[in-house]
Structure 1
Amino acid sequence: MTVINETHFNFPGQTKFYKGKVRDVYTIGDHYIVMIVSDRISAFDVILPDAIPYKGQVLNQIAAKSLKATEDILPNWLIDIPDPNVTIGKICDPFKVEMVIRGYLAGHAWREYQDGKRFICGVSLPEGLKENDRLAAPIITPTTKASIGHDEDISREDIITRGIVAEDDYLQIEQFTRRLFQRGTDIAAERGLILVDTKYEFGKAIDGKIYLIDEIHTPDSSRYFYKDTYQQLQDETKPQRQLSKEFLRQWLIENGFQGKEGQEVPFMSAEVIQSISDRYIELYEKITGDKFRKGSTHQITERIEANVMESLKRLS
């Protein structure tokens, strides 16, 4: 096996297991979460049949670097990175929203705008914008966090009115979202990139504090443009050079799939799978400035199990 499609571990003290779209999450007692980032890939809230080599390692290692680069803004859940595909962290009770923040009109927001919508998640957008235009100021467009099915756009007012997040907590995570996005923007600019949009997730630990959880600033949670060609391509109304999953979404759309009922995922050739893997590695090297070192694909599950067991032993 050269990819991690799914895992079936039974760690000491394990009390729960949850399989997400991309991550396998093991709860250890009431202290730790073991998050294994698989090579599964999803688009339009659908897990695609083929896993992507090294994708999980890319996501896990970018997230680890990004969490460490933002820990002065607020605490995060990270405790240990015992394996290229694993993060062990603090247990938090997650807020039931994902905080999406956008500096440019791209992706889902552009598709909504193109359909004639001028209010997205309660935020007003002006007439006359074109795809990938920079917004006057970053906007927050939250989504509900669905465990099954599609996430849905929601406004700040609805989140508070419906009691999804308490008002005081929501106002705090809004502020954290803006500060994190500014930090991500600054880091991306140093690497010749534009952080177009991204999402953050937050939770509360047993100490009552708000923590940043899950991944941040990865190609699964973020969209990046190349800074040096942005303005010229925009002036010429040409597609932006970007590093994100949008290229995959566009490929799926062109092949008749948007996750709608009755649609079938198109066949992904070995060449398509390799190109997706190459894109993920490219983003890792571009956003971190480090050369990507591929983890061993020999006995992957045995490697992960041994590394996690050793880490849990140290933590106990």
Structure 2
Amino acid sequence: MSLANQVLAVNNDLPIRTDKPVHSGKVRSVYWLTAEDSRRLIAERGYNVPADAPLAIMVISDRISAFDCIWHAEGGLNGVPGKGAALNTISNHWFQCFREQGLADSHILEIPHPFVWIVQKARAIKIEAICRQYITGSMWRAYSKGEREFCGITLPDGLQKDQKLPELLMTPSTKGILKGIPGVPEADDVNITRKNIEDNYAAFGFSTPADIDRYEVLLKDGFKLISDELAKIDQIFVDTKFEFGYVTDRDGQEKLIYMDEVGTPDSSRIWDGEAWRRGEIVERSKEEFRQELLNYFPDPDILLNKDRMPEREALARDNALPVDVLQRVSKTYLTIAEKVAGHAITLSDNPRQEIIDILRDQYGLID
């Protein structure tokens, strides 16, 4: 079977029974189950959710997004072999660690296939919860131009690029466009302060002010757990993005949970420890692919300048990258996933058909 056929690039056209539109994001697609199927699965599988809770099937893809565009390679290769399986493997591992260490649950109820999560509908907190342990990326670019205040936190003078910060920083930004919040621009992904959140906790989706403290504890403890575990395989957890939300259990108890994905090469920067100690940066995350794109195209400003978005979209649409670029990404993702999980990841020759067979035969979700 060709490499292109092993990649699940399109994941929003599976014949999963649903009576709502399929929501397709950059990487995952969400199929909301019918009320009848949700209720049946809750009863059959014994999920710890209310009997009438809405459930969804989340299917990951092998698509790769960078600079807000989806990229492809020659030969009809529209994704990265093994990327979806690697991302889910890593997230599943960390979610399990969080539960075992008593941090918090996630929205995932069951994992029928390496590409698939069965999830409970969660009420999302409208914050990209970002933690930084090193100064690099956008923070360094701003710092090098003289900025010292980030999300209400003042950094000292004299920091060097890629050095470890004096303490772990939480630098939240908005998730989506929030309207009517004083001092917060009506735009996606704008930096916010803790005071912004405290003064408008309900607008950001928190049930109580005390949950702000709880989310910060979960963010710090989750970051530390992943950082400590990656250090055992000599990998540095540089920075990451977590997302949080609320679900209700079968007893009607509301719980603050982790959601989306955690600690993956898509949502985090990860560096090789040995290389960093000798003064080099070897990326073990999507940042490696971003750097390849910046070096590949003659005018990298197109990728960095938000005012040139139409040109950027055309660049991604009209340029098939060399196959070896996406194969290098595949190796990076699979290597870190296997190190984290502690076992090899076996890739399917036809993930699409496997998903259909499992959801039809074991879950009764395909006619």
2:267 is aligned to 221
Deviations 1:102-133 (A, max 9, x none): 11112222222233321122221111112210
**Partners of 2:237 and 2:174 in 1: CA distance:** 22
Q: Does 1:209 align with 2:255?
A: yes
Matching of residues 1-316 of structure 1 within 5 Å: 1-7=5-11, 8-12=13-17, 14-28=19-33, 29=35, 30-49=53-72, 50-71=78-99, 72-146=102-176, 151-162=189-200, 163-166=203-206, 167-206=209-248, 207-233=253-279, 239-254=280-295, 255=297, 256=300, 257-258=303-304, 260=306, 261=308, 262-263=311-312, 264-265=315-316, 267-294=320-347, 296-298=348-350, 300-313=351-364
- Cα RMSD after superposing both structures: 2.2
Unpaired segments of 5 or more residues in structure 1? 234-238
Q: Is contact 1:40–1:48 with CA below 8 Å preserved after alignment?
A: yes
The structure having more radius of gyration, on CA atoms, is: 2
* Residue 14 of structure 1, CA deviation: 4.9
Q: Is contact 2:28–2:59 with CA below 8 Å preserved after alignment?
A: yes
**Partners of 1:279 and 1:17 in 2: CA distance:** 30
2:180 is aligned to none
Q: Is contact 1:46–1:259 with CA below 8 Å preserved after alignment?
A: no
The percentage of counterpart residues that share the same residue type is: 30
> SS of 2:278's equivalent?
helix
One-letter amino acid of the structure 1 residue matched with residue 24 of structure 2:
K
* Residue 151 of structure 1, CA deviation: 2.5
* Residue 92 of structure 1, CA deviation: 0.8
Q: Is contact 1:191–1:289 with CA below 8 Å preserved after alignment?
A: no
One-letter amino acid of the structure 2 residue matched with residue 24 of structure 1:
S
Alignment length (residue pairs): 307
**Partners of 1:31 and 1:125 in 2: CA distance:** 44
**Partners of 1:311 and 1:201 in 2: CA distance:** 30
1:236 is aligned to none
Deviations 1:169-203 (A, max 9, x none): 22211111001011111111111211111111111
Q: Is contact 2:235–2:272 with CA below 8 Å preserved after alignment?
A: yes
Unpaired segments of 5 or more residues in structure 2? 36-52, 73-77, 178-186
> SS of 1:70's equivalent?
helix
Deviations 1:14-33 (A, max 9, x none): 54521111100112234322
**Partners of 1:176 and 1:225 in 2: CA distance:** 23
Higher mean alpha-carbon deviation, 285-294 vs 135-144, is at: 285-294
In structure 2, the CA distance between the partners of 1:134 and 1:109, relative to structure 1 (3 Å rule), is same
In structure 2, the CA distance between the partners of 1:111 and 1:95, relative to structure 1 (3 Å rule), is same
* Residue 59 of structure 1, CA deviation: 0.4
Task: Provide the TM-score with structure 1 as the length reference.
Answer: 0.89
One-letter amino acid of the structure 1 residue matched with residue 323 of structure 2:
A
One-letter amino acid of the structure 1 residue matched with residue 118 of structure 2:
I
Q: Is contact 2:6–2:349 with CA below 8 Å preserved after alignment?
A: yes
